[in-house]
Every structure is written in C-alpha cells, then in structure tokens.
Chains A and B, each alone.
Chain A
Amino acid sequence: MKALEAVEKQEEIPPTEHPMDDVLRMDRIPHIWCPGCGIGLAVTAFVNALEKMQVDLDKVCVVSGIGCTGRVAGYIKTDSFHTTHGRALPFATGLKLGNPDLKIVVFSGDGDIVSIGGNHFIHAARRNIDILVICVNNFIYAMTGGQVAPTTPRSAYTTTSPFGNFETPSNIPQLAESAGAVYVARWTSLHMRRLTQSIIEGFQKPGFSMVEVISPCAMYYSRINKLGLGIDMMKFYHDNSVIKHGEPTENLDIGFQSQIIVGKFVDRERPTFSELYKGWKKEVKTVKRES
C-alpha cells in the first residue's frame, strides 16, 4: 500500500528489503525469465534450502551452462560461473578438485545437462564427484526458440517437431541412477516444500546428487501445445503427479500431459572421487617412500 501511495503522490518508492536479499543479486533483478516460468520457483527453493541449512555462502559456488536455466548463476550471490553450453559439470569438476572445500551446485536445464552435456553428466556421476545438480526440465529448448529437446514427450509439438515429436525422450532419473548418482529425486516446481527438502538432502549428501525439477515453459511449450498459462501448467503438473518414493527409475518416463511420478528414488552410499583420490595418493606416497 505504501508503494501505491507513493506512486499516487509521485514520490520515490522507498527501497524495501526482500527476505532473499542476502542470497540474490538484487542489482540484477528484474530477471530475464518469462511470466509463468518455473525456473524462478526452482531458484526460490534453492535459496530457501541455503537459508535453512545456514551454510557459509562464501564456500558455495554455483555453476551454470547455457540456456534459460543457465542464467541462474547470474542471480545467486555466491561465487558463480556462467560457462559454455553443456560444460558446467566439467568446469565444476575442475573447481572442486582445485579447492575441495567448496560446495558446488550445478544449476542447468535439460538440454544443457542431458543433450550437449550428456557425456559429462554420465562421467561426473560415475566418478561420484561431490556436486549437486539441479536440472530444470521444461521439455523444450526455450531460449533458442522452442526446439525439440531430448526430454520432449512423444507427440508434443515444438518448433522443430511441427507434426508432433516421434523420438523417445530421455528418462533423467534413470540416466542418473545408472551412471552412478548417489541421490536422485524429482519434483514439480509447485512442490516447494518437498523440493526444498530434496535440495537440502542432495546438498548435504557427499557425492553426485541430482534433483530434477519439472517446470512449465509458458512461452514455447505451452503456446505450441495450447496448454494455457504458466500457472495452469504448473497446477496441471502438480495435480497430475503422484508421489512414489523409491519407485524404480525405469518407470519414470514422462508422456505428453501424462501422470508424472515424483519423489526420492535413489539414496545410496558410494565412495566419492575425492575420498578415493585422497586414499590413492596416500598409498602411492607410501609406496614411493619405501622404494
């Protein structure tokens, strides 16, 4: 109300504090995301998680690739890197090995992580590098103009599948599990509380964790497929999801406007890259000393 009064009186609007001021780069707001986009909610969940955990933000690094979700790194007030398309994970790998005290979060989209960065995803998971990946899946390449993605469900329309997509989409949780991730979860962008909890768990888990966030693309995916506003899509995804913790990941395929299984699917223990590397180094040093 104060702001409205100020506008009427043509006064300057007094700056108000936002609860996320400490974690967001307020000098970069407004952000570039479209109205009705789900990426903002994923960022909100991430910021909430950071605040709940009360981690030292000086030790957190956010690395992003390219695309709509790739812009996340630019809005979070930690050390943040906006790198090349698909290569956020290898960049983060170097960062982590260069300074093992850092807590690294890779925030990127489905095209970035699964398509162009697919190989890096597989190998980062295999090595079990201590990184949390938050993958925002909107089923489409949005920033480049609504092209078909490796996650686009069958029969969905995109600018490059004008008669419906005929390819089989990737199942991201299954890919993560089979590559060796120790923590795999999926939520939709409206599952705010559960998503935040999963981000906390993945962040604290040593090793390679992956949280998939199903999010609407209100500009391309929704328009071409006539799915309404972003808020309608969010509600649809939320209402059409079923929580099944521990569901075998092979059952997690997503069809066009089908039911979406969400939950925490994988939570297991494996030695991380850093642990193994440390142990190996120690061993080599003793062998070298003895010889």
Chain B
Amino acid sequence: MDAIYSGSHKMNGNQACAEGSLAAGCRFLGFYPIQPCFEIVQHFADRCVDVDGTFIQMEDEISALAAVLGASWAGKKAMTVTSGPGFSLMMEHVGLGVMLETPCVIIESQRFGPSEGYPTQAGSGDVMQSRWGSHGDYEIITLSPNCPQEMFDLTVRAFNLSERYRLPVVVLADKAVGSMVEAVIIPKAEDLRLKKRKRYSGPKGKYLPYEYDKDLVPWMVKAGQGYRFHVTGLTHDEKGYPVMNAKCQEWNVHRIINKVRLFSDDIIDYEEGYTEDAEVLVVCYGSVSRAAVRAVRQVRKEGIRAGFFRLKTLWPFPEQRILELARQVRTIIVPEMNYGQAFLEVDRCSRGKAETIFVHQDFPKVRSGVDIINAIRKADVKA
C-alpha cells in the first residue's frame, strides 16, 4: 500500500489528520491515550505498518513528547497527538523542543476544560496555552483547521513549518472538526511540496550545532552520523555547550524568538471574505468559523455590510492585518468557544480603532450561529 491515498475520499477530520501526517513523511508517533483525539492514533497505527513507521504508547504525555523529540534527533519526522489535559503535561517538552530547536508536530484536539472538564465536547480553551504554556520566552507556531480538508492540509503544513523553522508546531483542532465527515482531496505525492530540515554535510570536526545564517535557523544533523554534537536545554552557545551569562542568554533567546518574528509574514495565513466594504467584521477560527462565515453570508442578504476574517494560523497572530481592518470597520466581533482568548489579541491589535465585542459560544449553540447573527445585527443597529 502507498504512503499516500491520493484522490478524493470521504473521511472525518481525525482520519484526514493521520493521512496528512503520513503524506508529510511522519514516521514516528509517540502518544498516550486520551480523547477526543484518539482516532488519529488509531488510524496512524493501522496505516503505519504499510509505510514502515513506528508508533509507541508511552507511560504518560510527558514521555510521549520526550520520545518524539528523541526520534526527531534520530532523523525521523515525528509527532504526538493529544487533548487538553495531555497538552498541559507536555508543556515542559514544548520548552525543550524550542530550546533544542527540534522539528516536531503536536496535534491537539481541544475539549472543554479546565482540568478533566468535558472530554467529549468541542471547546477552544487552549489557544493561550499553546502560545504561553511553557515557561520562559519563546515563539511558537499554532495552526487552526476548520474542516477535514484543512485537517489534512494544515497537518502537512505543520510538518513543513516545523522542518523549516526547527520548532514544535501545534495543530489546534477540536472535537467537532475531528469528528465531522466531509470530502477530502488528497494530492499526489509529487504535488505536496514537502520541506526538509536544513542538513549539515560539511567536515566532521567543524560542525557547530547552533551556527546559523540569514534565515536564523541552524543546520541539523542526525544522531549516529559521527558529528558527535552536544545539545542542551540550558542556555547555550553555538557549540551547543551551556554558558551561563547574560550575553549568551540574549544571543540564544533573541534568535529563537526572531527566527519566527522576523519571518512571520511567511507563516501567517488567513482567509477573508466581504472585507472590502465591511463595517462589521467577524474574526473567527476553528469550528466556530463555520457558523461565523455562514452568519456573515446571511446578514449580507439583509443588507448589513459584514465581513469575516478567518485565522488559519493563531500564532504568530496577524497583528498588522487586524490593525488595518480595525481602521476600516466600525465593530469587530470575536465569537469563540471559550471566555475570550483570541479576543484579547484582537482587542490588543485593533488599538481602539474599532469597537471589539466578544461572543461566547457553547458548543451546542455554535451550529445555528444565532448568537453571531444577533451580535452583528445589534452592532449594525447601534450605528
């Protein structure tokens, strides 16, 4: 059987995600059982024998991500799959992954929290956790799919970004996107345009693990190739050796932040609709965006000049574009399945140029989009 099932398929988001990872070349999955993401693992386990992949159920989520980092240094494209409580446990290794600059992908299928919360219902309360969950200063990339096709596409993109920037990349899905069944078009292997990490192939004695050039990303080698490198989670110099002084701290952390910040235009991806003449803007992402986009289309029929802005990358946040739109529109509405997380960012980025309104969405109410429609109408009447 092939690594890629190219063609059109009817599958759910979780299966599409597993297929996306295999198509992107993922050959290692470390995980710990949790719901509602587990179908991804099931599908991967079923298919990985065909492609000579490896999967291992670790003793907890802490070790699941640790094993993924290890496999990545052994040269494999690797990922882990989890949900809210497991993601909390993984935070220590998100930090290690950032510090060692290890490419890997974390698929997180969100559910309601806090704590064990409501395991079988979709939520999106982990937006800020995916950005700030681990201690210290760092930048991370988080993608937000809203349909099974995007579960495939954004999983492939997550691998490409992680290889390009040598970072853990989070795909922040949720229970609803994972369970919904739609047509998924899988491109042929040669059309996928996969990215590979920057490999070092120079003389053995001269390798410096954290020497970089203008893209700010260092060259990587595999363990066992004879480069005899050292890497550490401590603040390190270009040899990878720990150095405890403020200068080195700045040298080290400045770069791992700048390698994302300075290239954020290449990373940020979003979809806009009806924004040219919009007076009311709906900023949305994930499964809520499906209802939000429909709500915008509906109020347009009523003659309300509404538009939508759908985030495909949550982090880095499209600050510039939000500010431009805030200058143009009167009101920005942010519907989310939490108590206001991306809303805080939208509020910050709009710098008071537009009124910002948060609309809380409980999952059962999301589908109808009634709250969003009402909020748009209210904003329109106020004007």
Contact = CB atoms under 8 A, between A and B. Distances in A.
A90 B383 CA distance: 59
Residue of B96, B100, B223, B242 with most chain A CB atoms under a 10 A cut-off: B223
Contacts of A288: 49-50
B298 to A, nearest CB: 48
Given A61-B224, A98-B78, A99-B75, A91 B69 contact: yes
A98 B75 contact: yes
B331 interface: no
Interface in A171-227: none
A82 B70 contact: no
Interface of B is mostly: mixed
A97 B54 contact: yes
Nearest to B239: A27
Interface of A is mostly: helix
Interface string A263-291: 00000000000000100010011001000
B230 A25 contact: yes
B227 interface: yes
Contact of B56 (A58, A89, A97): A97
B232 interface: yes
A102 interface: yes
A93 interface: yes
A90 B70 contact: yes
A288 B86 CA distance: 32
Interface stretch (A73-81, A137-145, A229-237): A73-81
Chain B interface: which size bin?
35 or more
Interface string A115-151: 0000110110000000000000000000000000000
A95 B58 contact: no
Given A28-B241, A58-B224, A74-B232, A94 B30 contact: yes
A94 B67 CA distance: 4
A87 B93 contact: yes
A92 interface: yes
A59 B227 CA distance: 10
Contacts of B30: 94
Given A58-B226, A73-B230, A123-B58, A102 B74 contact: yes
9 contacts: A74-B241, A79-B229, A92-B70, A94-B72, A94-B78, A95-B70, A97-B74, A98-B75, A288-B50
